[in-house]
Amino acid sequence: MKKIIIAIDGYSATGKSTLAKGLARKLGYIYVDSGAMYRAVAYYAMKNHLIKEGRILVDELLKALTKLDIQFVFNPETYSSETYLNGENIERIIRTPEVSDVVSKISSIKEVRRFLVEKQREYGKNKGIVMDGRDIGTNVFPDAELKLFVITDLDVRVKRRLDELHSKGIYATEDEVKKNLLERDYLDIHRKENPLVQAKDAIVLDTTDLDRDQQLEYVLKLIQDLKLLENHSVQ
């Protein structure tokens, strides 16, 4: 059976991960949250005191990269994958505002990106994968059969991120979330190493007025219309 790679890029809190998870479940594909990998590295740096007065101790962090074992483990209760770092379930803690505040700085370090991109490409060597992030369609899988670039109104993004945090028992104010999203947008767009840009052959998906079911339905129909999966129903 033919399998493809689906690359989903876009800004924070646009619904990329929710869409990617839904597609992976429907198609029986592997889902990889590339953003969680960068968050795992950020968490490691924070936990091991590799950030001093807002400055990342880059040399020390790079020496530690080979010690990081990042895995995604399926949780049958939540029916989703959770992020583990060296055997520790860090899914909840890497979503906190504290980690969010430093993850873009971590992801701007070219050696960190190269290290994680290599791992991401390993995940996709046999295809049958859905991955979301900032540079999946432009850098990680430039030959992906389907590339999506997801956009959403800022106020909707803020509400979605607040709902996500509150569902995990994490408190944050609307102003804090908006400030973090705008800062991440700026850093993602302006970083030197593989900045966030729309791939030329990516299809833009505006999720502002679409709920998760409508987003999933749209992309599944898109896959069918484009005949990306021969002899395979996506209904």
DSSP state of 202: P
Average pLDDT over the chain, rounded to an integer: 92
Predicted pLDDT at 235: 54
- Decide if 202 contacts 137 (C-beta within 8 A): yes
Find the helix or strand (DSSP H, E) in which 51 lies. Answer: strand 51-52
215, HSE (Cβ side, Cα atoms, 13 Å): 25
Describe the crossing of helices 212-225 and 16-27 by its angle, rounded to 10 degrees: 50
The pLDDT of residue 81 is 79
Give the pLDDT of residue 231. Answer: 57
Residue-wise pLDDT tens for the chain (235 aa)? 689 999 999 999 999 999 999 999 999 898 999 999 999 999 999 999 999 998 999 999 999 999 999 998 877 777 677 899 999 999 999 999 899 889 989 999 999 999 999 999 998 999 999 999 999 999 999 999 999 999 999 999 999 999 988 888 888 999 999 999 999 999 999 988 899 999 999 999 999 999 999 999 999 999 999 888 865 555 5
Q: What is the per-residue pLDDT for 174?
A: 95
8 contact partners, CB below 8 Å, separation of at least 6: 16, 19, 20, 130, 131, 132, 133, 136, 137, 147, 148, 150
Catalogue all structural domains in the chain, each as residue range(s) with its CATH number.
Answer: 5-223 (3.40.50.300)
Q: Compute how many other C-beta atoms are within 10 angstroms of the C-beta atom of residue 99.
A: 19
* pLDDT score at 77: 77
Q: What tokens appear for 27 in the block? A: 């198609």
Query: Is residue 5 within 8 Å of 133, Cβ to Cβ?
Result: no
